[in-house]
Amino acid sequence: MRWLALVGGVLVQVVIGGVYAWSLFGRALQPELTAVQAAVPFEVAIGMIFVGASIGGRLQDRSSPRVVALLGVLLYAAGILLASLATSPERFWVLVVGYGVIGGFGLGMAYIVPVALLQKWFPRHSAVVTGLAVGGFGFGATVTSPAAQYLIGLSPESPALAFRPLGLAYLVVGALAAAMLVSPPATAAREGASSDFTPREALGTRQWYLLTAILTVAVAAGISLISMMAGAAVDVGGLDAAGAAAAVGVLALFNGAGRIGWAALAQRVGRLKVLGAILALEGLALVALPHATGFAFLALAAVVYLCYGGAFGTLPSTAGAFFGLTHAGAIYGLMLVGWSLAGVAGPLVSSALVAGAGGYTVAFTVMGLLALAGVLLPAVTRPPRRTNLDADQVPTATP
């Protein structure tokens, strides 16, 4: 059953990971919307992730992960389908409500289930399995991007119509994947669970805030590029529109690979060391990015995507090692407030800087320096005293 849960968890993440293909829609909508307006639906969706994840995390810890994941996928698909009705600038609010509010809430609810559930099924390999699960989220844009580009091309005067077939596909695949998610039997509970933190207790430690801050900085820096990748590839990298669309899909592979690769490395050398390296490389790549073109631009962007994904692959198991797995869904779900805050602020700040006199150079330099400053956070982070585990250890019992 645990392998079935792993497959279902990865597929759920692939479905909802299509959100990272937004820059294709944002660029297609810009003849009728401003650059700031075109970023709003994506920002709202990312902002709603915390709401959905915090509620979904508590529900799945107390009830059925299958039900919570199914509800999340249904809401996500419904939001995408509703967004397909935004066929004119006057219906912009429909795009925000559908794609942003409803879709983002469902996304967060579905996202947290595999992240928490698979650590319970595979406690010895919690970093790797969570990396695999959220790796699916990174790969979601690779699957969605070519389909979205094709569908947008069918009705370029109404790009939102492309959401209709995408929403239907998400509905079918997501529902089938959610049906595979079941909890491990009670006899598989790991030793030492009685010492696990409750959500209230975790919020009373400084470690929860430090890990949340690491997530916030890593997301803000990386999403500043991801949210405008299609435009930056043309304006800075020198690619044409078709090349930019292809780059969005290819770079999503690095987002997914980073979630798996960095998580596997963290299992071997230590989670906090890996988080420090992620922030350092992400910052250096962003500072160099506006000064590169062609292959060099794509290579640096790939580093940013790798590091952005790596933070998501490494932090869930770090939280599990710090606070235990009993309430992993609720505790990490609350931690995703960092994703939502950065997901809103990052694109807003970077797009405003791009629109200013400094353009992409100032925008990416500021975000790069933010990531470099964030290297201090994992350097000062230590496990809470109450836990029986070091930050780089994993539970010893298996299901």
In angstroms, how far is CA 333 from the centroid of its own chain? 12
Asked if residue 13 lies in contact with residue 111, where contact means CB atoms within 8 angstroms, the answer is yes
- Tens-place pLDDT, residues 57-70: 888 877 788 999 99
The yes-or-no verdict on residue 354 having pLDDT over 90 is: no
Question: Higher model confidence: residue 330 or residue 399?
Answer: 330
Asked if residue 247 lies in contact with residue 300, where contact means CB atoms within 8 angstroms, the answer is no
The yes-or-no verdict on residue 364 having pLDDT over 80 is: yes
- What the block records as the tokens of 181 is 């998610």
- 286: closest CA among 354, 182, 370? 370
- Position 2 scores a pLDDT of 84
Please give the single-letter amino acid code of residue 68.
V
- Position 393 scores a pLDDT of 44
If you ran DSSP here, which 8-state letter would residue 239 be given? -
- For every residue of 356-373, DSSP letters joined together read STTHHHHHHHHHHHHHHH
Distance CA 140, CA 148 (A): 12
Q: In this structure, what are the phi and psi dihedrals at residue 86, rounded to the nearest 5 degrees?
A: -85, 70
- Position 306 scores a pLDDT of 94
- What the block records as the tokens of 241 is 């529109």
First to last CA, the chain: 11
3-class secondary structure per residue, 258-285: HHHHHHHHHHHHCHHHHHHHHHHHHHHH
- Tens-place pLDDT, residues 227-286: 788 788 888 988 887 888 788 778 888 988 898 899 889 988 999 999 999 999 999 999
- Report residue 392's pLDDT band, with 50, 70 and 90 as the boundaries: very low
If you ran DSSP here, which 8-state letter would residue 353 be given? H
- Residue that the structure tokens 């780089």 belong to: 392
Asked if residue 138 lies in contact with residue 17, where contact means CB atoms within 8 angstroms, the answer is yes
Long-range contacts of 295-301 (CB under 8 A, 24+ apart): 297/233, 297/236, 297/237, 297/238, 298/233, 298/237, 298/247, 298/251, 301/225, 301/229, 301/232, 301/233, 301/237, 301/247, 301/251
- What the block records as the tokens of 316 is 């869930």
Rg over CA atoms, the chain: 20
The yes-or-no verdict on residue 396 having pLDDT over 60 is: no
The yes-or-no verdict on residue 388 having pLDDT over 60 is: no
Please give the single-letter amino acid code of residue 343.
G
- Tens-place pLDDT, residues 164-215: 999 999 999 999 999 999 888 764 445 446 578 999 999 999 999 999 999 9
- Position 192 scores a pLDDT of 44
- Tens-place pLDDT, residues 8-43: 999 999 999 888 888 788 888 887 887 778 888 988
Please tell me the pTM assigned to this model. 0.82
Residue 279 CA: distances (Å) to CA of 97, 113, 263, 309: 33, 26, 14, 11
Residue 305 CA: distances (Å) to CA of 60, 266, 299, 310: 29, 17, 10, 8
Dihedral of the alpha carbons of 275, 216, 220, 303, in degrees to the nearest 10: 10
> What length is written for the chain?
399
Distance CA 38, CA 30 (A): 6
- Position 39 scores a pLDDT of 80
How many CA atoms, within 13 angstroms, populate the side-chain half-sphere of residue 366?
18
In angstroms, how far is CA 88 from the centroid of its own chain? 29
Please give the single-letter amino acid code of residue 25.
F
Quote the longest CA-to-CA distance of the chain: 62
- 267: closest CA among 117, 137, 134, 130? 130
3-class secondary structure per residue, 38-51: HHHHHHHHHHHHHH
- 18: closest CA among 66, 65, 68, 80? 80
Tell me which of 32-36, 55-59, 336-340, 394-398 is least confident: 394-398
Homologous superfamily (CATH) of 2-183+196-379 is MFS general substrate transporter like domains (1.20.1250.20)
- Position 323 scores a pLDDT of 92
For 168, counting Cβ atoms within 10 Å of its Cβ (0-12 exposed, 13-18 middle, 19+ buried), the class is middle
- Tens-place pLDDT, residues 285-307: 999 999 999 999 999 999 999 99
Q: In this structure, what are the phi and psi dihedrals at residue 77, rounded to the nearest 5 degrees?
A: -65, -40
